[in-house]
Structure formats: structure tokens, C-alpha cells
């Protein structure tokens, strides 16, 4: 995997009531990335979301947080990717991951949506192309499928939030390697971390 990244998408739901919920981990990561770069994310109607453009080690990177609800995330991603002619192989989507415990984050390329409605819509809107990269931010699992909806739409307890933040800090530390296409190095560093 040597693909460089031109677009980083952070998934979440819009509105203050969702801002620190588990489901918004991806959006939080992109907010923090923009803040580290002192570049405010601004509403951009044609991309159906909050948008900024930054430089990471000299590489121009578009940032996007869809302002659609989670299950319509693909509308925003396909609008921006279409406008700037960015192939799925150059897109990184940051999202919450039930199958990983809090305090962990993992990079991967491709794969299914694993029941994640944001990923499901992005895959669909990109013409069923699954070859984009993912930054999976662990939030843990409530234990039973029937509890997932309430679990992801609630705020985690403080200790759990601190673990998730530690994993996001590590993700931001190694993101420049991923942006440059040094996926193996980025993965080796990030995947050895446990917060």
C-alpha cells in the first residue's frame, strides 16, 4: 500500500446533542486535526459539510466532516471526491469502531461496512467501491446488538473518553506517514499503541 491521501473524512452526526457521543469519534479526530493546523473548518454547501484544506508535510489534504446525518455520509464524500477528482484509494475515512476496545485505533484499506451506516453509504455513493482507507477508532461494544444504537449515540464515561482521546492523539501523530503513503510504518507505530 503506497497510496497517498488527498482527503480525510471524519464521520459523525451534526448538532450539539451528538457532539461528544461515541459515534462522532471520526468527526472529533478531523476537528482536532484542523485545530492543530490552525485552520478552521467552514460550512461548504456544495460538499454538504464542514470543509478545510491543509498541508501535511507539504502534501495538500482536504478535510471534510459531513453535515448530513451519519447514514447519508456518502452524499458529502462523493460530492467532494467528484469535484476534486479524488479516487477512493486516496481517501481516508475516520470512524468509530465497535469491534475495537477504547484506547485503540487501526488503519486498514478496503473491506465491508461492518454494519456501520456511514461506511455503508460511502461505499454505495462511491459506486460500490470499497477501496478507500479507514482509520478505525475503538469505542468498544455494549455486548448485544440490540444495545448498539443507544450505545453509539451516548457519551462515554470519562475514563473511556480519555482512552479514546489517547488513541486519537496517537492517530494524529502517525497520520503524516499515512498521508505520504508510508502505510506500513504508520500501521506498525499505531497498532502497537494501547491506551
Catalytic residue IDs:
23
CA–CA gap between residue 42 and residue 34 (Å, rounded) = 11
Going by C-beta distance under 8 Å and a sequence separation of 6 or more, which residues neighbour residue 97? Answer: 106, 114, 116, 136, 137, 138, 139
The β-bridge relationship of strands 105-109 and 133-138 is antiparallel
Cα 80 from chain centre: 15
CA–CA gap between residue 188 and residue 184 (Å, rounded) = 6
Amino acid at each position: 500500500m503506497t497510496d497517498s491521501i488527498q482527503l480525510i473524512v471524519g464521520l459523525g452526526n451534526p448538532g450539539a446533542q451528538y457532539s461528544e457521543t461515541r459515534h462522532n469519534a471520526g468527526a472529533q479526530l478531523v476537528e482536532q486535526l484542523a485545530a492543530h493546523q490552525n485552520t478552521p473548518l467552514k460550512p461548504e454547501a456544495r460538499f454538504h459539510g464542514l470543509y478545510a484544506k491543509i498541508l501535511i508535510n507539504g502534501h495538500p489534504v482536504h478535510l471534510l466532516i459531513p453535515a448530513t446525518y451519519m447514514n447519508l455520509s456518502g452524499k458529502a464524500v462523493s460530492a467532494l471526491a467528484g469535484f476534486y477528482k479524488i479516487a477512493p484509494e486516496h481517501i481516508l475515512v475516520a470512524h468509530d469502531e465497535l469491534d475495537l476496545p477504547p484506547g485503540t485505533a487501526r488503519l486498514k484499506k478496503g473491506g465491508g461496512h461492518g454494519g456501520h451506516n456511514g461506511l455503508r453509504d460511502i461505499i454505495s455513493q462511491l459506486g460500490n467501491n470499497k477501496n478507500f482507507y479507514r482509520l478505525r477508532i475503538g469505542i468498544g461494544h455494549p455486548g448485544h446488538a440490540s444495545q448498539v444504537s443507544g450505545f453509539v449515540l451516548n457519551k462515554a464515561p470519562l475514563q473511556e473518553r480519555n482512552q479514546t482521546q489517547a488513541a486519537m492523539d496517537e492517530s494524529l501523530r502517525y497520520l503524516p506517514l499515512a498521508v505520504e503513503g508510508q502505510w506500513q510504518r504508520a500501521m506498525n507505530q499505531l497498532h502497537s499503541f494501547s491506551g
